[in-house]
Amino acid sequence: MSIEIVKVPDIGDYDNVDVIEVNVAEGDVIAEEDSLITLETDKASMEVPSPVAGKITKLTVKVGDKVSQGTAIMEVEVEGSSDQAAATQSQPQSTSQAPAAAAASQIIDVEVPDIGDYDSVDVIEVSVKVGDEVAEEDSLITLETDKASMEVPSPVAGKVVEVVTKVGDKVSQGSLILKVETGASASASAIEQTQQPVTAQTTEEVVNVEVPDIGDYDNVDVIEVSVNVGDKVEEEDSLVTLETDKASMEVPSPVAGEVVEIVTKVGDKVSQGSLILKVKTQGSAPTQASSQPAAAKQETPKQQAATPAAPAPASSSVNESAVDNSNAHASPAVRKLARILNVDLSKVKATGRKGRITKEDCYNYIKNAVSQVQSGKVAASGNGLDLLDDPVVDFAKFGEIETQPLSRINKISAKNLHRNWVKIPHVTFYDDADVTDLEEFRSSKKAFAEKKGIKITPLSFLVKAAAVALQEFPRFNSSLSNDGENLIVKKYYNIGFAADTPAGLMVPVIKDADKKGIIEISKDIMELAGKARDGKLGAKDMAGATFTISSIGVLGTTAFTPIINMPEVAIMGVSKTAVKPVWNGKEFIPRTMLPLSLSTDHRVIDGALAAKFLTRYCQILSDLREIIM
């Protein structure tokens, strides 16, 4: 056994880089390539992997420290002999090169700078195009490895005349990115970096950690406390879990340190600002050896590149540019999450250190977008999520294809269904109705119905039961006003039913179902279904529904999520009946059960009301005497 000192590897031209996360602790057993710490510059965040496998005996860095190539990170106990020579890191040479000013405008080849040991790195974003004016330090492209994402800044100011790389390319140090035409005073070698010496002053304080902004919720239950007194926590570690009737949420730590006191416990009720616990922090407060800021480091807008500008005040918050965060900084893990969620990071408000986008920022962005959809604040198109465009795929390159044009009905239905699904917050409830007696009664009336020239289907009873239930629960027979300020309750009961036709989905409507009996409803269903099959349904036949039934029992399935037919606020889905054993208090007996799926608009109907409606609907179907009461 021997002790191996793990040091910061080659990280390019960067020096005095912030440690923003320590992913291991003393005593941990690590494997080769396990992530040890995360570093962050003003251009990139990167993980430092372990070059060896073993047990950590000592940590020499903490969150907030500044490190450079060769800085010791930790000591690891490994098997075998220690090769001290291999552990010695060569220090980068500092050379001062005077910029050579060009006598006239010239074309500068901009290449990938030193990016450490990485090779064949993916280009995930190209931030400029031909004709753009760029200032020195403007971001040109973004690269991503399995450990880090990094932006490549422009070493010169000028006009982009040719872009050589594109998204999806793989590049290495020295790969040509693009060409920039510079002015007469431009420097062909303007990458000289000047570093200010930094000294660290250790500070220690106890931070009160409170419940952050949790929206409109108040007196929220604490269902879990994830830490104990004496625990070491990192920034963003989960401290407690809160639960409302709508969601559960974790409260992350805003600081790194040691938990010295826990104020809340499981079962407590907390609100925004409630004290959760206290954390003792210990970090470094860097001080510049020179009080003069380096003006060359300040980024200036592209349109001001030709004239010098005063540096922005140090107090400016990067979070103020949440609407157009075009230079979004995020770790590879966050970028991966954004790709999964189809979130445009340039639209996300950053709340992390130094303007970094966190995973929570992505989740909050989605939550806010959905809230806008639910409140009707988005555009009429219903697209309020700022999602990425649909991918353009050449399917023919994978095999033989056939393009079939959609019918007019298909196109109309698709647009309506998409609007309804996006703009209405659906909640679906499921239950089984005992229709044993109903089916026996329906079968007994088969000969009677044939004499009348009609067919009594289960749908006739479903429609009548809906009319009865809607009268008892008028909120289900309503619509939300366009401005979302009022509920329009209808005093008529028109029941639509989904009909699958060769031309596509149609919804004819049975008018005044509350005033009709089973025979009359059956006649209406036969007439409207016939019109639908023959393509003879008129606009009046499909207008005025207050509630819809979608029955797919003949096709099978046990449950599904029917989409509400806007501006209605609920829809009943009906699946295939099945004989099941039901306990009657003494024994199991076979009963014919009908699966029901009720989707409701959660803006209008809450869970309790929906459950009551569905239970009552099942009661009506189970006992036909309820219809005449």
**Active site amino acids:** 602
Query: How far, in Å, CA of 610 to CA of 534, rounded?
Result: 36
Cβ-count burial 69-106 (b if 16+ within 10 Å, e if not): bebbbbbbebeeeeeeeeeebeeeeeeeeeeeeeeeee
Query: How far, in Å, CA of 159 to CA of 67, rounded?
Result: 35
Contact 187, 296 (CB under 8 A): no
Answer whether the bond into residue 567 is a cis peptide, omega within 30°. yes
Nearest to 179 by CA among 223, 251, 123, 130: 130
CA distance between the termini of the chain:
87
Query: How far, in Å, CA of 219 to CA of 350, rounded?
Result: 27
Query: How far, in Å, CA of 378 to CA of 371, rounded?
Result: 10
Q: Do strands 356-357 and 329-330 pair parallel, antiparallel, or not at all (unpaired)? A: parallel
Helix (H, G, I), strand (E, B) or coil at 535: coil
What H or E segment, with its residue span, contains residue 604? none
Query: Any idea how long the chain is?
Result: 629
Write out the two tokens for 569.
């606020």
Paired strand residues for 178: 110, 163
Helix (H, G, I), strand (E, B) or coil at 280: strand
Other residues' Cβ atoms within 10 Å of the Cβ of residue 397: 7
Q: Do strands 504-506 and 478-480 pair parallel, antiparallel, or not at all (unpaired)? A: unpaired
Helix 607-622 vs helix 458-472: crossing angle, to nearest 10: 130
Paired strand residues for 270: 220
What H or E segment, with its residue span, contains residue 528? helix 518-534
Helix (H, G, I), strand (E, B) or coil at 447: helix
Sign (positive or negative) of CA dihedral 487, 491, 494, 495: positive
Write out the two tokens for 505.
């989905």
Query: How far, in Å, CA of 483 to CA of 93, rounded?
Result: 67
